[in-house]
């Protein structure tokens, strides 16, 4: 009795609940919009086709396996199947797509310097030909043998939509990682093949023998059913990818789409999809690719956290953080103090022009000329129109403090002599970044509901939290900093217990390291509640960014308690503590669930 309902109770509903629990903390408004939009399209498009199959008795259901209510002759359980399959597959696609910045997979096909763009039009036309033939040939063969009737109806129903979706989203379908395109098709398909096999064997539903080819993929799984579930999951994933394609175009090109609502209407999304690829801004796309590459190599914690943000906020945060990393690397890796000073001056000139009321493209390009091409592409799109200039200039002040370590007088007059020196340095190089990030959060807030006082309080807390994260960074990097001739632990803390050489300090300062780490956790404890006052849409991402970095501090605390050296934790780079990727993911998910780490 009621076998069809039991299929849902045992196989589909538990899976949907599990995916909802895993994905729930990561869902954005646009994700919910995508789920609802695809649900509406899938159910309304499938009902007429499925109703025809049942009325012509291609599909049949014994009366005792269904509860009874029908919609256009379709059992309620079947209508629910349309909905829950779409939900499961869409949730999986969203979950697997979170780490990916879709925008970097857009390509201007008129750009002859982009090797990827050369093959895309060929694959586009090939796909259109295949799905075009799949739409037409079954119609031409409709009078042929009845045994292929069900397969022809599947192709007539699916191929026209696949042709449309391929035409819209072929770039992403060809260039996105397979884990975001083919895996969310393959995994639900295999699962539903198993469910379908069990249902066909039990007689929960059946296909009339005169309408099927009689070929089985394995015992009890008809070829038509295997193709049906493969194509339905492909339709859902391709629909979700086309949705992502439209959103990526809207978010990536503010010059063409100046104002994009948090939930763009279908008309706006179709306008984006119909934008010719030759009008994609190549330099901006390349800048985003370079920025994300910098983060992937230089800041794994922020790279992980960036996947929790969405829309233009995510893009601007990536560009901002990449700017900071590029500046740090060019100045830090300079072969001499004089060369480092030149880089600081180049960055100062760039900011002077970028924030000048007389800014023009020629002067800006002149300011960018001294930088490597990859750095130019990042600096060019730094969102200076959304950021105050003060923190960026303060960031350069922090780099000037770094340079003093290479002055001849640094042994007698170290740059970080007192705790006040350390506090000022951390404020310059990290407190500024926290403040800048929150400025972007408030600029992109879709609700714009925060009061001036709340903004002021959160910006101040963000600057303090940035300082705390820098303290963690300093404790982690004592060995590598010492190898480079720098020590950020105040020298007045060391004068009575250690020699003055950086190498000796690195070996003999466990207590000062613990002292700085305790300061970091004290600042973190006093300011983490301010995160809850941030706009809801960005709150989770900020939590993940903070907690994933503080987890490095927790790793070091564990090792301090155990009397183990802080270096090499988690298999990180030589001389650095690190957190394994699995632990970072767990911390991120736990944080999004609202469970913060211990102080």
pLDDT tens, position by position, 567-576: 654 444 544 5
The predicted structure's pLDDT at residue 408? 62
The predicted structure's pLDDT at residue 577? 57
Range name among 411-425, 495-509, 520-534 with the lowest pLDDT average? 495-509
* Whether 217 contacts 19, CB under 8 Å: no
Which run of H or E residues covers position 74?
Answer: strand 74-75
Name the β-bridge partners of 60. 206
10 Å Cβ neighbour count for 214? 11
Strands, DSSP E only, in 116-209?
Answer: 206-207
Q: What percent of the chain has pLDDT over 70?
A: 92
The pLDDT confidence band at residue 202, using thresholds 50, 70 and 90, is confident
Q: Is 432 helix (H, G, I), strand (E, B) or coil?
A: helix
For residues 570 and 495, give the distance between their C-alpha atoms in angstroms, rounded to a whole number: 32
The pLDDT confidence band at residue 446, using thresholds 50, 70 and 90, is confident
Q: How far apart are the first and last CA of the chain?
A: 55
The pLDDT confidence band at residue 510, using thresholds 50, 70 and 90, is confident
Return the axis-axis angle of helices 452-476 and 536-561, rounded to nearest 10°.
Answer: 30
Q: What is the DSSP letter of 9?
A: I
pLDDT at 588 over 80: no
The predicted structure's pLDDT at residue 594? 66
pLDDT tens, position by position, 286-316: 999 999 999 888 777 777 778 889 899 999 9
Rounded to the nearest 10°, the torsion over CA 140, 145, 151, 157 is: 40
Between 508 and 345, where is the model more confident? 345
The stretch 506-525 carries a mean pLDDT of 85
Strands 59-60 and 70-71: unpaired
The predicted structure's pLDDT at residue 396? 95
Q: Provide DSSP, 552-589.
A: HHHHHHHHHHTT--STTGGG-STT-----HHHHHHHHH
* Whether 468 contacts 396, CB under 8 Å: no
The stretch 319-347 carries a mean pLDDT of 91
The stretch 326-347 carries a mean pLDDT of 90
Residues whose CB is less than 8 angstroms from the CB of residue 116 and which lie 6 or more positions away in sequence, other chains included: 107, 175
pLDDT at 125 over 90: yes
The predicted structure's pLDDT at residue 578? 63
Backbone φ, ψ for residue 267 (5° rounding)? -60, -40
The pLDDT confidence band at residue 509, using thresholds 50, 70 and 90, is low
The pLDDT confidence band at residue 496, using thresholds 50, 70 and 90, is low
* Whether 449 contacts 473, CB under 8 Å: no
For residues 47 and 157, give the distance between their C-alpha atoms in angstroms, rounded to a whole number: 11
* Whether 576 contacts 483, CB under 8 Å: no
CA angle 492, 497, 502 (to 5 degrees): 70
Two structure tokens written together for 350: 């760039």
The pLDDT confidence band at residue 210, using thresholds 50, 70 and 90, is confident
State the pTM of this model: 0.90
The stretch 34-54 carries a mean pLDDT of 96
Per DSSP, the chain holds a count of helices (H) and strands (E) of 25, 6
The predicted structure's pLDDT at residue 10? 94
For residues 54 and 47, give the distance between their C-alpha atoms in angstroms, rounded to a whole number: 11
Two structure tokens written together for 591: 């944080």
10 Å Cβ neighbour count for 259? 8
Q: What is the DSSP letter of 494?
A: T
Question: In terms of C-beta density within 10 A (0-12 exposed, 13-18 middle, 19 or more buried), how is residue 532 classed?
Answer: exposed
Classified by CATH at the fold level, domain 284-593 comes out as Farnesyl Diphosphate Synthase (1.10.600)
Task: Tell me the C-alpha to C-alpha distance, in Å, between residue 427 and each of 27, 383, 521.
Answer: 33, 21, 16
pLDDT tens, position by position, 534-572: 998 888 889 888 888 888 898 898 888 888 777 654 444
Of all residues in the chain, what percent are helix, strand and coil, respectively (each to 5)?
75, 0, 25
The predicted structure's pLDDT at residue 499? 43
Residues whose CB is less than 8 angstroms from the CB of residue 374 and which lie 6 or more positions away in sequence, other chains included: 290
pLDDT at 498 over 60: no
Task: Tell me the C-alpha to C-alpha distance, in Å, between residue 432 and each of 347, 392, 470, 537.
Answer: 16, 7, 11, 22
For residues 299 and 68, give the distance between their C-alpha atoms in angstroms, rounded to a whole number: 57
The stretch 410-426 carries a mean pLDDT of 87
Q: Which of 9-23, 57-71, 353-367, 509-523 has the highest mean pLDDT?
A: 9-23
pLDDT tens, position by position, 113-123: 888 888 999 99
For residues 583 and 132, give the distance between their C-alpha atoms in angstroms, rounded to a whole number: 47
For residues 142 and 593, give the distance between their C-alpha atoms in angstroms, rounded to a whole number: 53
The pLDDT confidence band at residue 438, using thresholds 50, 70 and 90, is very high
pLDDT at 500 over 70: no
Residues whose CB is less than 8 angstroms from the CB of residue 259 and which lie 6 or more positions away in sequence, other chains included: none
10 Å Cβ neighbour count for 63? 7
The predicted structure's pLDDT at residue 580? 67
Map tokens 């105040």 to a residue.
490
pLDDT tens, position by position, 20-31: 999 988 899 999
Q: What is the DSSP letter of 597?
A: P
Kindly list the domain boundaries of the chain, sorted by start residue: 3-279, 284-593
Two structure tokens written together for 39: 């649900």
Range name among 341-345, 479-483, 562-566 with the lowest pLDDT average? 562-566
Mean pLDDT of the chain: 89
Please state the separation of Cα 365 from the chain's center in Å.
31
pLDDT at 584 over 90: no
Please state the separation of Cα 62 from the chain's center in Å.
46
Q: Is 384 left (phi over 0), alpha (psi -120 to 50) or beta?
A: alpha
Q: What percent of the chain has pLDDT over 90?
A: 64
The pLDDT confidence band at residue 598, using thresholds 50, 70 and 90, is very low
The predicted structure's pLDDT at residue 12? 96
Q: What is the DSSP letter of 321?
A: H
* Whether 107 contacts 120, CB under 8 Å: yes
Between 40 and 358, where is the model more confident? 40
The pLDDT confidence band at residue 427, using thresholds 50, 70 and 90, is very high
The predicted structure's pLDDT at residue 203? 82
Name the β-bridge partners of 207. 59
pLDDT at 506 over 50: no
The pLDDT confidence band at residue 207, using thresholds 50, 70 and 90, is confident
The predicted structure's pLDDT at residue 409? 66
For residues 4 and 341, give the distance between their C-alpha atoms in angstroms, rounded to a whole number: 73
């Amino acid at each position: 009795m009621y076998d069809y309902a039991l299929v849902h109770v045992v196989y589909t509903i538990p899976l949907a609940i599990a995916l909802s629990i895993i994905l729930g903390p990561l869902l954005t408004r646009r994700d919910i919009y995508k789920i609802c939009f695809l649900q509406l399209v899938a159910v309304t498009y499938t009902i007429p086709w499925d109703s025809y199959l049942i009325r012509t008795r291609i599909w049949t259901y014994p009366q005792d396996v269904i509860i009874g209510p029908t919609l256009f002759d379709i059992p309620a359980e079947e209508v629910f199947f349309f909905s829950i399959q779409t939900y499961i597959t869409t949730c999986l696609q969203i979950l697997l797509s979170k780490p990916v910045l879709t925008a970097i997979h857009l390509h201007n096909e008129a750009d002859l310097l982009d090797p990827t763009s050369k093959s895309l039009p060929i694959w586009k036309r090939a796909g259109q030909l295949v799905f075009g033939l799949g739409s037409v040939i079954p119609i031409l063969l409709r009078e042929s043998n009845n045994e292929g009737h069900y397969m022809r109806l599947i192709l007539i129903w699916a191929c026209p939509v696949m042709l449309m979706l391929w035409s819209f989203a072929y770039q992403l379908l060809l260039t996105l990682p397979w884990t975001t395109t083919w895996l969310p098709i393959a995994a639900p398909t295999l699962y539903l093949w198993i469910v379908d096999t069990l249902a066909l064997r039990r007689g929960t539903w059946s296909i009339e023998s005169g309408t099927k080819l009689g070929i089985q993929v394995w015992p009890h799984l008809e070829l038509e059913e295997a193709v049906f579930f493969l194509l339905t999951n492909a339709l859902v994933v391709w629909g979700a990818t086309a949705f992502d394609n439209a959103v990526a175009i809207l978010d990536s090109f503010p010059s063409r789409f100046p104002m994009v609502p948090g939930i763009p209407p279908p008309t706006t999304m179709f306008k984006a999809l119909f934008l010719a690829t030759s009008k994609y801004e190549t330099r901006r796309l390349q800048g985003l690719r370079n920025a994300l590459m910098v983060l992937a190599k230089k800041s794994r914690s922020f790279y992980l956290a960036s996947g929790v943000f969405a829309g233009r906020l995510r893009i601007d945060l990536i560009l901002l953080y990449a700017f900071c990393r590029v500046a740090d690397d060019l100045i830090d890796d300079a072969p001499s103090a004089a060369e480092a000073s030149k880089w600081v001056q180049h960055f100062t000139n760039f900011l002077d022009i970028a924030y000048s009321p007389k800014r023009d493209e020629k002067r800006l390009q002149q300011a960018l000329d001294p930088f490597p091409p990859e750095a130019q592409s990042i600096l060019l799109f730094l969102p200076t129109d959304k950021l105050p200039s003060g923190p960026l200039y303060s960031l350069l002040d922090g780099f000037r403090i770094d340079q003093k370590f290479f002055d001849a007088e640094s042994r007698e007059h170290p740059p970080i002599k007192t705790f006040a020196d350390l506090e000022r340095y951390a404020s310059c190089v990290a407190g500024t970044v926290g403040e800048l990030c929150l400025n972007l959060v408030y600029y992109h807030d879709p609700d714009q509901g925060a009061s001036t006082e709340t903004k002021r309080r959160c910006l101040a807390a963000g600057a303090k939290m940035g300082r705390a994260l820098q303290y963690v960074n300093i404790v982690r990097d004592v060995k590598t900093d010492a190898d480079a001739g720098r020590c950020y632990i105040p020298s007045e803390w060391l004068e009575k217990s250690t020699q003055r050489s950086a190498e000796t300090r690195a070996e003999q300062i466990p207590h000062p390291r613990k002292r700085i780490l305790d300061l970091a956790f004290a600042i973190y404890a006093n300011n983490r509640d301010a995160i809850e006052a941030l706009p809801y849409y960005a709150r989770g991402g900020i939590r993940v960014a903070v907690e994933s970095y503080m987890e490095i501090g927790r790793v070091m605390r564990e090792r301090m308690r155990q009397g183990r050296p802080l270096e090499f934790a988690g298999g990180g780079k030589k001389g650095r503590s690190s957190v394994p990727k699995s632990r970072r993911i767990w911390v991120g998910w736990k944080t999004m669930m609202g469970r913060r780490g211990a102080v």
